[in-house]
Amino acid sequence: MTTTSSHRTDIDFDSPEHQARLAELYRDFAAAGMAPLWTAREELMPLSPRPRAVAHLWRWSELYPLAARSADLVPVGRGGERRAISLANPGLGGSPYATPTLWAAIQYLAPHENAPEHRHTQSAFRFVLEGEGVWTVVDGDPVAMRRGDLLLTPGWCFHGHHNVSDQPMAWLDGLDIPFVSQTDQGFFEFGPDELTDRSVPERSRSELLWGGPGLTPVSSTGARPSSPLMAYRWAHTDAALAAQLELEDGGYPGVVSAGHAAVRFTNPATGGDALTTMRTEMHRLRAGASSLRTRSSASSVWQVFAGAGTVTVGGADHPVGRGDVVAVPAWTELSFRAGDGLDLFSFSDAPVFEKLHLLRTEVVA
């Protein structure tokens, strides 16, 4: 702490006597359950965010085998609830969190396993890098999970999973567990041990009702906080990204920047983010293209869905390939460069701060 003051020039702040009195004051503060701001102001209120979380990269080639090994050793069942292994940011002192607000995990289900139903106030999604054969049952509605799909579990919806195939399946789980935990907003309730609906339809009922572009069932109009559509299918996402690049080819607006297409997964009943606390997006870079260098007060997690390239985060370059996961703390410079093309899934806590008018995002020159 440095201070300048025109007051009390009569006091010698550096004198041993003064220091002794100050030390006594601080002891008395502590005894009274008090803490001075002036010794901690810079740490508590920095000029710009100083995240404890660090930029970090997890390799799919390391994540997947460890998840698979756990399937031999740990059952899925009541209590533990899920065979999910989270990515623990090295900067967060052992907390199992990717960033201070976001949870990212690899979840693994062996052939014919099922994960029992429960619900919680935490919002959740699954993003599928590879495989198929699992249905997640959300409030009784079975939702197929396949490569490239984003599947939602909005807060307080019952959900369980079952693998009907002879193959294991693994995917990325994203939740707001850290945010909800640190702010004490977590409620949790066990559901049935057995899944409420074991059917395996191609399309969930949510897709039947809400899957048409701009089409709202008259029986279900009105805003709802999170999306009523539980599945965003790869075929649509892929087509939307391709269309933006097609528009760019034609000289029309649509891409975020040169060679960089991106779609946001949104709630068709409001146009806002699909989940209340997390923003989910899919990005595509043409071969050789780079995204703009940006930083945001939102923290985020990125997974390479297809292709390979380089991520530049916090000033360092890292080659990335299929399945690799990158955690990006708040206010950390970020850009991607594609090799022969790069598809990236991302999620962030941006909606929280946007609603509170705290979000800052900038392109770094």
Q: Per CB under 8 A, which of residues 247..306 are in contact with its own copies?
A: 247, 250, 252-256, 262-271, 274, 276-277, 281, 283, 297, 299
CB 88 within 8 A of CB 94: yes
Rounded least distance, CB 74 to its own copies, Å:
6
Rounded least distance, CB 362 to its own copies, Å:
12
Rounded least distance, CB 132 to its own copies, Å:
20
Rounded least distance, CB 364 to its own copies, Å:
16
Q: Which residues in 97-116 contact its own copies (CB under 8 A)?
A: 100-101, 105-106, 110, 112-113
Q: Closer to its own copies at the Cβ: 51 or 307? A: 51
Segment interacting with its own copies (CB under 8 A) among 83-91, 125-133, 302-310, 315-323:
83-91
Q: Which residues in 124-163 contact its own copies (CB under 8 A)?
A: 155
Answer for which of 25, 200, 258, 364 binds its own copies (CB under 8 A) is 25
CB 120 within 8 A of CB 313: no
Could you say whether residue 16 binds its own copies (CB under 8 A)? no
Q: Which residues in 309-328 contact its own copies (CB under 8 A)?
A: none
Half-sphere CA count of 309, side-chain side, radius 13 A? 29
Answer for which of 93, 193, 317, 363 binds its own copies (CB under 8 A) is 193
Q: Which amino acid does the sequence have at 91?
A: G
Calculate the alpha carbon distances from 343 to 49, 284, 305, 316, 318 in Å.
Answer: 29, 4, 5, 20, 16
Number of residues that bind its own copies (CB under 8 A): 150
Rounded least distance, CB 361 to its own copies, Å:
12
Q: In the structure encoding, which two tokens stand for residue 333, read together? A: 């410079």
Could you say whether residue 217 binds its own copies (CB under 8 A)? yes
Segment interacting with its own copies (CB under 8 A) among 130-138, 221-229, 310-318, 333-341:
221-229
CB 130 within 8 A of CB 109: no
CB 170 within 8 A of CB 293: no
Rounded least distance, CB 173 to its own copies, Å:
9
CB 152 within 8 A of CB 128: no
Residue 42-81 contact track with its own copies, rule CB under 8 A, x = bound: x-xxxxxxxx-x--x-x---xx--x--xx-xxxxxxxxxx
Calculate the alpha carbon distances from 114 to 111, 165, 273, 323 in Å.
Answer: 9, 11, 29, 24
Could you say whether residue 8 binds its own copies (CB under 8 A)? yes
Q: Can you tell me the distance from the alpha carbon of 145 to that of 157, in angstroms, rounded to the nearest whole number?
A: 17
Q: In the structure encoding, which two tokens stand for residue 165, read together? A: 């195939």
Could you say whether residue 84 binds its own copies (CB under 8 A)? yes
Q: Check residue 131 and report its DSSP letter.
A: -
Half-sphere CA count of 35, side-chain side, radius 13 A? 5
Could you say whether residue 345 binds its own copies (CB under 8 A)? no
CB 236 within 8 A of CB 256: no
- H-helix or E-strand containing 113? none
Could you tell me how far CA 105 lies from the centroid of its own chain?
Answer: 10
Q: In the structure encoding, which two tokens stand for residue 226, read together? A: 């999170």
Kindly state the greatest CA–CA separation across the chain. Answer: 82
Segment interacting with its own copies (CB under 8 A) among 93-101, 128-136, 304-312, 315-323:
93-101
Q: Closer to its own copies at the Cβ: 287 or 361? A: 361
Could you say whether residue 195 binds its own copies (CB under 8 A)? no
Could you say whether residue 188 binds its own copies (CB under 8 A)? yes
Answer for which of 39, 167, 249, 364 binds its own copies (CB under 8 A) is 39
